[in-house]
Amino acid sequence: MTPLSPDPAVLRGLRLFSGLDAAALAEIVRSAQTRRIEKGTTIFSQGDRAALCHALIDGRVKIAQTGADGQQLVVRYIGGGEMFGTAAVFSGGIYPADALAMVDCVGVHWTAATMGELMERHPRIALNALDIVGRRLQEVQTRLRELSTERVERRVAHALLRLARQAGRRVGNGVEIDFPLSRQDIAEMTGTTLHTVSRILSGWEGQGIVEGGRQQVTIRQPHALVAIAEDLPRPGKPEEK
Amino acid sequence: MTPLSPDPAVLRGLRLFSGLDAAALAEIVRSAQTRRIEKGTTIFSQGDRAALCHALIDGRVKIAQTGADGQQLVVRYIGGGEMFGTAAVFSGGIYPADALAMVDCVGVHWTAATMGELMERHPRIALNALDIVGRRLQEVQTRLRELSTERVERRVAHALLRLARQAGRRVGNGVEIDFPLSRQDIAEMTGTTLHTVSRILSGWEGQGIVEGGRQQVTIRQPHALVAIAEDLPRPGKPEEK
DNA sequence: CGCGTAGTTGAGTCGCATCAAGTGGAGTGG
DNA sequence: CCACTCCACTTGATGCGACTCAACTACGCG
């Protein structure tokens, strides 16, 4: 909750503000609130009035939806440079999911009214937001199709590849997901159970494709994972005739 | 393809243009192209360059995504007053799905460049678009959760209720979906097979909850369908202790 | 050192996809 | 006007992927 002095250079990195001139950025910085967010903090909760537009300078935030019977779905993981909770402000004014800091984060936010004025004055911001939300819509639609038509193993492979792209860190023997990620989290991303995820990862670990630890996954053979995700023929898994 | 004289009063009904003054509407009308679209016409195809923003004055359009292996997913049905294909224009420039006219329609469209200028000049349009796309994102996320966590029967019930809300017409003995809808279509909305949908509808028909026909469904007891969708206890289906 | 949380692994079950016929009504052509 | 042909739909039989139930293990933290 410690307020920090916002840095214009940092805000320039946000997709939401790309293409704006220095004067506009200065205005945006003036109206921004920056703060540290401790690991485990709930930034907003499903059903809350959406009073703030958020963006993440650094860290990792989980956006998750809860069903009537307590079932959880991980909607997405937000990384540095991404906005979140902003679509809700302009679409009904209620956050449709929870936002939870997975690690210590640095966040920035604007009030709904301020962001509205900024967008009116600088349509480019609204256009950027439309771009971002449109891409997320496409991504979620793609996941919807995967969930409808693919077996669990392929969905888990897709999920890990997506995570590697968004939150992968190159390490000696592959690509590591750079935040604590449990089997349960993966299950909630792919619509399965932690048991099934555990079995699948164990299988892959036996084949040297991934390496798992407590709340931690490293991909050692990304190409093999792509082969599984795309359902390509591959060694050890002969096509039935 | 017959061009028609666009009518300002008609465009006022589009959510995308709500809150605009008469001058702005006049400008929008001048730059619009209106046309009749025959049933069965493909308005755009997945992978095409997104050159046009569309809206539907009247009729019904199916937005469907195809996977690499030909698997189909119905993303949504568009009705009169709704825009479609617009998010794609501002998010990558490629349509992520097919748009197919389910009945004879009247559509209107703008070029990407024209709509971009309109939004720059009238930020309210961009805000409206953000609102609409944000709501669709929420809806798709909700479907994603349903697909992850609910059994087929509940998902079909949810899909029918959603359709009834968007495309329902009150008739003597219930609510009828007002466009041709096959079992296959329902299956592609809910991530199942037409066989399973057929079995479920037959079961419901036996209980008097729905009435089915060829590419046609009438809901006779909406409350019963809600009970199924929400997994409430109900007569004939005792809770196991 | 003990407790809690995360993960592993086995056995059993079942929901639903898959395979496989068949029915009936709408549209078409002779 | 009737026969033919689709196409949407129905319904039965079968199999299996993955969920459920149930221990058990191991790591990290206080």
Read off the pLDDT band of B232 (50, 70, 90): confident
Is pLDDT at B83 greater than 90 in this prediction? Answer: yes
Nearest to A197 by CA among A239, A155, A227: A155
Q: Decide whether A3-147 matches A150-229 in CATH topology.
A: yes
Q: Give me the architecture of the B3-147 domain, per CATH.
A: Sandwich (2.60)
- CB-nearest partner of A148 from B73, B119, B231: B73
pTM for the full predicted model: 0.93
A65 touches chain B (CB under 8 A): yes
- CB-nearest partner of A191 from B92, B123, B148: B148
Which pLDDT tens digit goes with each residue over B118-171?
Answer: 999 999 999 999 999 999 999 999 999 999 999 999 999 999 999 999 999 999
Which pLDDT tens digit goes with each residue over B174-225?
Answer: 999 999 999 999 999 999 999 999 999 999 999 999 999 999 999 999 999 9
Q: What is the pLDDT of residue B241?
A: 35
Which CATH number does A150-229 carry?
2.60.120.10
Which pLDDT tens digit goes with each residue over A55-114?
Answer: 999 999 999 999 888 889 999 999 999 999 999 999 999 999 999 999 999 999 999 999
The separation, in Å, between residue B6 CA and nucleotide D13 C1' comes to: 57
* CB-CB contact of B187 with B197 (8 Å): yes
Is pLDDT at B8 greater than 70 in this prediction? Answer: no
B235 touches chain A (CB under 8 A): no
List residues bridging with B77 in a β-sheet.
B62
Three-state secondary structure call for residue A25: helix
Read off the pLDDT band of B13 (50, 70, 90): confident
By C1' distance from the Cα of A214, the closest nucleotide is C6
Which residues of chain A make contact with B128, given a CB cutoff of 8 A? none
Class of domain B151-229: mainly beta
B120:A123 CB<8 A: yes
Q: Domain segments of chain B: what residues? A: 3-147, 151-229
Is pLDDT at B237 greater than 80 in this prediction? Answer: no
Read off the pLDDT band of A150 (50, 70, 90): very high
Q: What is the pLDDT of residue A234?
A: 67
In whole numbers, what is the pLDDT of chain A averaged over residues? 92
- Count chain A–chain B contacts defined by CB atoms under 8 A: 152
A139 touches chain B (CB under 8 A): no
SS (H, E, C) chain B: CCEECCCHHHHHCCHHHCCCCHHHHHHHHHCCEEEEECCCCEEECCCCECCEEEEEEECEEEEEEECCCCCEEEEEEEECCCEECHHHHHCCCECCCEEEECCCEEEEEEEHHHHHHHHHHCHHHHHHHHHHHHHHHHHHHHHHHHHHHCCHHHHHHHHHHHHHHHHEEEECCEEEECCCCCHHHHHHHHCCCHHHHHHHHHHHHHCCCEEEECCEEEECCHHHHHHHHCCCCECCECCCC
Read off the pLDDT band of B4 (50, 70, 90): low
Is pLDDT at A229 greater than 60 in this prediction? Answer: yes
